[in-house]
Amino acid sequence: MEYKTWLDTSLDLNANPFQPREEEAPVLKKEKKEVQSNFIELGRKQHPANEETGALVEELNRVSAENKKLTDMLTEMCENYNALRSHLMDYMRKNPEKEVSPSKKRKSQSSNNDSNNNNNNIGVNGNSESSSTDEDSCKKPREEIIKAKISRAYVRTEASDTSLVVKDGYQWRKYGQKVTRDNPCPRAYFKCSFAPSCPVKKKVQRSVEDQTILVATYEGEHNHPHPSKLEAPSGSNRSMTLGSVPCSASLHSSGPTITLDLTKSKPNSDAKSPSRRIDTPEFQQFLVEQMASSLTKDPNFTAALAAAVSGRIYHQNPTEKW
């Protein structure tokens, strides 16, 4: 799936079902429409409808229970994700040398890469800034090292996603693409759309070992605020946008996929927005809502949801697990 848009909508899966939101799942919307039309129907027929009302209440309770169940599943998925992520972080800390396939072609570049590997790639967010090694300090003028701060981000995408788009909240303008020798997948070159005032560049290329992983290399630092901070989401949405936490969720035959782009956990932005720390309950709740929102936009998910609501999904394939 391509990260075409920011996930800035929310779906109250466990919220009051009587207050429909704009972008709720079509299936649920349809059910509620039926319920509403049934109420209208009741008003027109003008006869005591205790039985029908009872049935409708029962139906609503059932739908609410389904919503609750789905919310629980999403919460569980979120927790599993956090656990996996922490494991991955631990693993990467212990095995930093396994993260990239270093290019041995060019001396200066490979020495840069080596220093990056040793100093930078401490996590999937990859935004640890490079610090110059002693070797680099000897070879390069200090100013140059300071000017070109290099960081790396690893973003898992789906196999079907052939784009080289790594959503990190900033706007980028592609200025080139090249097939390199070490990797059959083309490398895309991006400049920050605020250029030339913002000198940041980024290179995006698929990993040789796992082509579902996009390796984004950032050069330099943004000299402007994060675009998501400029957008003022006052009112329309629940609380805040997910601009700083791009994520994508989808459902496939092989199972659900939730992809989080964690490249935005820069120390700067974290320091500026402590309320968005990933470990806060508020953030967790928000994350669940955003994932739910994303899921409801996926036609596969809505189809599966429809099957689940009608109680058929487990009968059709009782062994299949999400």
Partner DNA sequence: CGCTTTTGACCCGCGC
Partner DNA sequence: GCGCGGGTCAAAAGCG
The residues binding DNA (CB under 7 A) are 103, 105-109, 171-182, 187-189, 193, 201, 203
Residues 6 or more apart in contact with residue 124 via CB below 8 angstroms: 85, 88, 89, 92, 153, 154, 262
Least Å distance, CB 40 to DNA, is: 38
Closest-CA residue to 296 (of 2, 23, 5, 15): 23
Q: Are the C-beta atoms of residues 298 and 251 closer than 8 Å to each other?
A: yes
CA 247 – CA 5 distance, rounded (Å): 10
176 or 267: whose CB is closer to DNA? Answer: 176
Least Å distance, CB 121 to DNA, is: 17
53 or 180: whose CB is closer to DNA? Answer: 180
Residue 271 tokens read as: 């320091």
Closest-CA residue to 304 (of 249, 255, 248, 247): 255
81 or 189: whose CB is closer to DNA? Answer: 189
129 or 182: whose CB is closer to DNA? Answer: 182
105 or 142: whose CB is closer to DNA? Answer: 105
Least Å distance, CB 231 to DNA, is: 16
Least Å distance, CB 192 to DNA, is: 10
CA 65 – CA 57 distance, rounded (Å): 12
Q: What is the edge-to-edge ordering of all strands in the sheet holding 201-206?
A: 150-156, 213-219, 201-206, 186-192, 172-179
Least Å distance, CB 113 to DNA, is: 10
Least Å distance, CB 94 to DNA, is: 28
What angle do the packed helices 281-297 and 50-94 form, to 10 degrees?
110
70 or 188: whose CB is closer to DNA? Answer: 188
